[in-house]
Structure 1
């Protein structure tokens, strides 16, 4: 059946027809049988002035609409187009409700027609898109978008988007469409009849067998095994000059880099002489190839894997998608490479299959995410959640279907041969190169089961993060909501709760005495919940009444460090008594159910796969609950003198919103004994490893001193003297000299003056989220209408990658960031011309881990500031500085709004840690004039 779709876009004076806002432009495009069959567009005389913001956004002014028809005059043509059609728009409810409001005002009857929202449909079908704004989707699909925010252009692009989406829907395999059917009924878009007709038109799905793997009523993308090339074992043909020639052939703009050549030689030497190596490679050295070329060669030569570990997902993907394919082209032999992440990144197909059997779920996010995943299975080879852009509700659903050790059936699972996690593990154990992340690397270190293949050599990129990651992985934390989620999933009061299902299954199989095992469950379950509720409320009360506000976060966050001496005081007695009772209740709750689960062993041959999986899931949850109780006991008994313990609470948050933490004070001995002492050669690299051109700080912190590692500093090939400038204003007050409001007002006006010269294109780095929010607000009030596009972390929604991409889309944008924006973002070229560092990035001295490390240093005769705080801040500062110049063609200025850099004895250490570049120290207005001359 041929359907007619009419794609509508309105430009309006505001968001609500009911409040007097009016349409100023109509764009309508009709689509039939995959073709555009009709168009209609017109300006509309709104009868009210067009606000400056709308004029700025759309380019439509009062003069352009003064002679245009009224909406009443345009309505008949529009209604004629819409008759018998689907109403389609990008964010359909805005345009549809606006039209209804205008029609009502003009005396027309309400519309009633099927709707399609291309935002919803894009989120469903274009899972790899970076964002779902119309401009971003047009860029993603290569659609020409001439005049964004004008109705005719927006409607045209939305029509092309719709045709692409409908075509993709039609190409899905029959089995996938059948699985989708129950879930599309619950979406906002009227897709039910469309999907039903496609199903009826499809022939039998066997024609798709080459592309898809059909199993247990799901269609999965078939993984094609690539033929291995013949191995050329002439490793001596690996010469630097040969490789450079090949790199020139396969890389645009490749330049021979002396530092990269040196890095290849150093890594090769370290691997062949069984030494550890610490190597700082400045921005632009090309360190990925600098360690991959000798590393892969060594792995092939010794016939054992090289593990490469990174901190960020972005770098892992870059290594796998950009560097490994390039390496395969230039090396004189073939090799295999696998990316392996922690198992909760991967979808558990057994759990997902089980959730699809519930068609009665009313939650929109859950139904939508199920539909997304059904389609994703036809596209993904890895089953890795990082490939998806899940909404917050989707992330909650992911927690119920992700792979985890406690609920894995292993070889007893029908999905085992297709399991994404186990496939990646098997591939990793057969690979020459295993790419992973620091989190999994150090989880493997303390895990009983071997997650990574056995290895003797490793490269740790982004190595300045290792101390923090190891501290996290050998630490512990818990909160009330972690317990609550586990208990809710076990709940017997819910109709579909696990305990009710367990009762039904026990009754069905006639398991002896099952009611005896479950007799006290309901009462014990309530006891556990009530005890934990009271316990965490009491802990939060202690935290809020005794803590000082954390300076590193919002004012409402309270942080309280506590010790064994504290918990032995009278104040803590009720807490310890409640924790003891909660632990006992949990034990009483879990033990009989585990005995009942053991009883099912005798019925194994009568159990279906679904039933076996269910029993494993219950046992996994019980284990998780016991593990969490053990963590809570550890955190409230403070058993280890080498750990620091603290709690954090939002004073205005829920009454039990408090989190308990424990971390090792030092990790050097852990790494020395469990990692560096057991590996032949570990290469640690980053753009920021040295402090004042020395590696003693990083070597000491990571436990490397006793191993006498090789050290090297490889300078960046960029010409910082010509490409950059460091500017330090002399007239911006220190934060402790004035109140925060005065400080924010001064930095906001200074930023505004600089932005007028740079035309935006500025990244502003903060050390406090609270100050970022206040500065963003103050800057906004200074602007002339929409003079600059302000994008702020935490104020604007979206991931770091999405905010960065939005920043690059606008010519006059300013990006405000904190924490994660100090590193790992790459904005080359003219998109970024100015970097502003508001304050030197010192960790607050009362931050619990920092305070504990400082106390330990002091007790050992060290100087906490010069031996710990300063080196840490310098490495962080260098990371921030590195955001500006990302290629040999970049040029820009770095402002530091912190006079400590020029007025304190230690301030020069920051400047000494940077590449040589011109430094200007003047009042803001003089620096702005100098910047204008320099940029011109």
Structure 2
């Protein structure tokens, strides 16, 4: 094995050597036997000017390279270093392409030795890391990185990262290394020799067994911690009586900690509601500290009554935060032991049986699949939860995860050799008897729709982010299907010619000596016919919707059509119903054939080995899925329930079968009242935004709480909004209804740029339309000179909301464009964010099918849909958006509202009345910016 690693980092005038970009600095660090043995660095004269943004980025200017050597002068030194070595860089394609170009330019042979990319190596060996940029890894690994974007400093840090990663690699368990070796050979980095040397050394030495690891069926797992059972229930005092002691303990553990008055008030309310079996609504303003305010009394109640209390959040992120941050605080706060458990949807957990099978599957060996397999192998030696949220998979790894995630239909339960080590069943077992069970709204409602088979029995629940409850309930009590749901199923089953599920079942019946060939031939015929009919069905629906919907402005290339299954007549609809009936008949026949095959195989179940049992279970699971999709198609297109709204969405561009069919309950209030609130002793609902005009009436009606005598309370934010916020409405922006969209966007963009020059970026701009966001983003990009501001756009810049927010914080002068999910859940405290722009008031589009159906219902009752639905929804969303700016008592900033309806209409004033008290200024943009500059 070569044991010499030459770590190279280059600074350049741009990204492309073929377009004339050149090297301006080179840094080299030589590593041998786990130590740095040599270093070299030099500025390089590029013989061209360095662009201004590169000077700003690297701190290297034209003067610094004026007297530096040309690359040709240092090339012999570089070639000598690289002789017989691994070439190492953080993002090899960039550095190596420049180096090869310059070597070729000087008449030298290209480097042809092995390479190691520390980005790839970090992805493989640190599978749970959030990011893999050099700065991020340096911080996480506690390395000094004093001069980022200077080649000598970057090369040194890359060398230190390399040594840490190689040490981790060779210290992996022998079995993990043996499973990793064939995977690593398909990666870009040359790791074969390094892994083989580590394997050989481990085979020749006396094995050291790590007691924290468990070797089973050729995989190595982290052993779970044993759950300590309490011998007897703890004696717990009354929460209110213990509050002073709790505060003292927290103050000692976290210097200067003090329970705020609003927190104390909220704690007392929750304690009372739980003890008296009351439902409670609490709006807790930003900064109240609501997590601790419900966790403490909730824990005391659970311990005192020896019951499990469920805590539900809307997002998995908040679920993680409760576990990773708030549970730690809770342990410091109380003097008694307690147990908390996290339970997520089944698809969050890995199925070890599926992973074992897929690990040996060499059919799908694309790069992302290989990297995902390697990451998971290493992650299994570290994870106790087996939860995908801990993994940073490559983009293609999401497809691989869908093939190895746990699911109820293919689970073979106690017949599975992995059952005792199953992460999902472990999570469920941990939840039984836990004092606090932390879950999410989606699982809460999935549990309701699946006869309470997922969560342990509970009577008391605390719901955070409760303003999402209606929307999540509506999703879970609704139905949806699309062409791709069927396509995915047929891809799984395959044919007798492919090595997929049908072929595997056929092989099992052959091995058992059964003669079911005729059944299989018929089934293949049905599957082929079904594919054709289903393709026709969804294409026909697509074409009918496109021709029915008038040409209109289309948001992100989609058209939607509300329909009534029992009334659809005329051109296209009769043909759709005919083809759906044909599909239903074919599906029924296919399901009958499947039953005949599975019945025959089940008679021989005692003869099946583990692998054959898994195949039979997967086959049964496939048909359970197919049966479910068959029922959905029938309910959506051949049946009608007047309490539901039905609609179809089609992609105007792209596949002609890209058709999505939905139905949702028009109202969930009765369902919620009968199936949830009626069956629970106490439901505590909290959020920063539950009221409209300081009243809970809207949320009480929407959730069906009118008959429950629900207790309500508003806890004001402790922040001083009158000192911390300036609310500004520019009068110079036109009313959108008075100008065309292009003119309006131009005015919005020039205003954003003027404000950004005063606030130095640090700005979040919230849109209600993705189409407008896109147009404004690219127009602003054209207006910005010399890379003055970094623009980050949702749906334009790659990455999740969390990743975009993180990138925004990393740049001094950044502007972040967001819509939909960015109106809430984005947390950017401190100086990173000093300006928020709300482009339009966030009213729901009137043609949204659910909104349309609810409006009709309100009209039938003789009420105004605008006042009863549109306005309250928009105000709650507006309050969420406003809440992005001030996240701590030290934050200061301005909120600009570009929609003049807020001051020019009677209802507009209700938006302002729903906000915390902050000074409102209405003036020309020029005057407002003058005031803002002085204030900032």
Bin of the TM-score, shorter chain as denominator length: over 0.9
For 1:96, the equivalent position in structure 2 comes to 96
Query: Which residue in 2 is equivalent to 1:188?
Result: 188
Q: What is the CA-CA distance between 1:641 and the residue it aligns to?
A: 0.8
When structure 1 is superposed on structure 2, of 142-151 and 628-637 the one drifting more is 142-151
Separation in 1 of the partners of 2:171 and 2:480? 47
**What's 1:284 paired with?**
287
Structure 2 residue ranges without an equivalent (≥5): none
1:152 offset after TM fit, Å?
1.7
Cα distance in 2 between the residues matched to 1:62 and 1:594: 77
Instruction: Give the Cα–Cα distance (whole angstroms) in 2 for the partners of residues 613 and 487 of structure 1.
Output: 19
* 1:313-339 CA distance string (max 9 Å, x none): 111111111112221222232211101
**Compared with structure 1, are the counterparts of its residues 811 and 17 closer, same or farther at alpha carbon in structure 2 (3 Å cutoff)?**
closer
Q: How has the CA–CA distance of structure 1 residues 549 and 809 changed in structure 2, closer, same or farther, with 3 Å as cutoff?
A: farther
8 Å CA contact 1:173–1:205 kept in 2: the answer is: no
Alpha-carbon distance in 2 for matches of 1:459, 1:790 = 39
Partner Cα separation in structure 2 for residue 649 and residue 93 of structure 1: 40
Matches within 5 A, 1:171-186: 171-186=171-186
Structure 2: distance between partners of 1:549 and 1:823 = 33
Does residue 515 of the first structure (1) align with residue 534 of the second (2)?
Answer: no
Q: Which residue of 2 aligns with 1:81?
A: 81
Checking the alignment, whether the CA contact within 8 Å between 2:560 and 2:650 is kept in structure 1 is yes
Structure 1 portions without partners, runs of 5+: none
Partner of 2:527: 525
TM-score (norm 1): 0.97
- Local SS of the residue matching 2:663: strand
d(CA) in 2 for partners of 1:93, 1:189: 11
Contact 1:550 1:559 in 2 (8 A): no
Post-superposition shift, 1:792?
A: 1.3
2 CA distance for matches of 1:584 and 1:120?
51
Shift of 1:863: 0.7
- Residue 207 of structure 1 deviates from its aligned partner by 2.7
Residue 355 (1) aligns with residue 392 (2) = no
Separation of aligned partners in 2, 1:740 and 1:891: 32
Q: Compute the displacement of 1:268 (Å).
A: 1.1
Tell me how far apart the structure 1 counterparts of residues 165 and 935 of structure 2 sit (CA, whole Å): 49
Alignment of 1:469-488 (within 5 A): 469-488=472-491
Deviations 1:112-162 (A, max 9, x none): 111111111111111222212222222222222222222222212211111
Instruction: Say if 2:843 and 2:873, in contact at 8 Å, map to a contact too.
Output: yes
State the match for 1:255 in structure 2.
258
| 1:360-417 CA-partner distances (Å, limit 9, x unpaired) | 5332211211111111101111111111122221000111111111001111111111
For residues 255 and 568 of structure 1, the distance between their equivalents in structure 2, rounded to whole angstroms, comes to: 67
Taking the aligned partners of 1:769 and 1:147, their CA distance within structure 2 comes to: 38
Once the two structures are superposed, the pairs formed by residues 461-860 of structure 1 within 5 Å of their partners are 461-492=464-495, 495-511=498-514, 513-547=515-549, 553-554=555-556, 556-564=557-565, 566-860=567-861
Pair 1:164 & 2:178 matched? no
Contact kept, 8 Å, 1:338 with 1:428, in 2: the verdict is yes
* 1:401 equivalent among 401, 404, 424: 404
For 1:57 and 1:613, how far apart are their aligned partners in 2? 55
Residue 885 of structure 1 and its aligned partner are, at CA, apart by 0.9
1:312 matched residue in structure 2: 315
1:550–1:557 Cα contact (<8 Å) kept: no
1:109 equivalenced with 2:109 (yes/no): yes
**Residue 902 of structure 1, CA deviation:** 0.2
Secondary structure of 1:405's counterpart equals: coil
> How far apart are 1:734 and its partner, in Å?
2.1
Determine the C-alpha separation between the residues in 2 that align with 1:255 and 1:915.
Answer: 23
Counterparts of 1:415-430 in structure 2, within 5 Å, are 415-430=418-433
Determine the C-alpha separation between the residues in 1 that align with 2:751 and 2:230: 60
Is residue 311–residue 437 contact of structure 1 (8 Å, CA) maintained in 2? Answer: yes
The separation in 1 between residues aligned to 2:284 and 2:551, in whole angstroms, is 39
Alignment of 1:369-384 (within 5 A): 369-384=372-387
Is residue 638–residue 645 contact of structure 1 (8 Å, CA) maintained in 2? no
SS at match of 2:25: strand
Aligned to 1:662, the other structure's residue is in SS state strand
What SS is found at the alignment partner of 2:17? coil
Q: 1:781 to 1:515 in 2, by over 3 A?
A: same
The structure-2 alpha-carbon separation of the partners of 1:229 and 1:585, relative to structure 1 and needing over 3 Å to count, comes to closer
> Is residue 552–residue 767 contact of structure 1 (8 Å, CA) maintained in 2?
no
* 2:341 match: 338
Moved more, 632-641 or 713-722: 632-641
Contact 1:920 1:927 in 2 (8 A): yes
Judged with a 3 Å threshold, the aligned counterparts in structure 2 of structure 1 residues 475 and 253 are, in CA distance, closer, same or farther, namely farther
**Stretch of structure 1 that moved more, 468-477 or 87-96:** 87-96
Distance in 2 (CA, whole Å) between partners of 1:629 and 1:447 is 19
Distance 2:249 2:720 in 1: 26
Contact 2:266/2:293 (<8 A) preserved: yes
Indicate if the aligned counterparts of 1:354 and 1:610 stay in contact, CA closer than 8 A: no
Q: Quote the Cα distance in structure 1 between the aligned partners of 2:551 and 2:227.
A: 57
What's the offset of the Cα at 1:429?
A: 1.3
Inter-CA distance 392–747: structure 2 relative to 1 (3 Å threshold): same
Q: Secondary structure at the match of 1:264?
A: helix
Deviations 1:577-620 (A, max 9, x none): 11111122222223213321222223333322122111111211
2:235 corresponds, among 233, 236, 251, to 233
Q: Secondary structure at the match of 1:392?
A: coil
TM-score (norm 2): 0.97
Structure 1 residues 653, 721: closer, same or farther in 2, change over 3 A? same
Tell me how far apart the structure 1 counterparts of residues 460 and 373 of structure 2 sit (CA, whole Å): 41
2:29 counterpart residue number: 29
> What corresponds to 1:448 in structure 2?
451
Task: Check conservation: 1:306, 1:433, Cα contact below 8 A.
Answer: yes
Checking the alignment, whether the CA contact within 8 Å between 1:6 and 1:88 is kept in structure 2 is yes
Residue 439 of structure 2 corresponds to residue 436 of structure 1: yes
Counterparts of 1:234 and 1:354, CA distance in 2: 49
Match of 2:277 among 271, 274, 280: 274
- Alpha-carbon displacement from aligned partner over 1:409-442 (angstroms, at most 9, x marks no partner): 1111111111100111111112111000000001
Question: Per the alignment, in what secondary structure is the counterpart of residue 797 of structure 1?
Answer: coil
* Larger mean Cα displacement after TM superposition, 70-79 or 516-525: 516-525
Write the distance in 2 (CA, Å) between the matches of 1:329 and 1:71.
59
Greater displacement, 486-495 / 667-676? 486-495
Shift, 1:21, TM fit: 2.3
Paired with 1:629 and 1:53, the residues of 2 have a C-alpha distance of: 58
Q: Matched residues in 2 for 1:514 and 1:98: separation?
A: 62
Once the two structures are superposed, the pairs formed by residues 28-47 of structure 1 within 5 Å of their partners are 28-47=28-47
Residue 566 of structure 1, CA deviation: 4.5
Deviation, 1:6, is 0.8
**Distance in structure 1 (CA, Å) of the matches to 2:683 and 2:49:** 68
Distance in 1 separating the partners of 2:15 and 2:24: 12
Taking the aligned partners of 1:549 and 1:710, their CA distance within structure 2 comes to: 49
Displacement of 1:255: 3.2
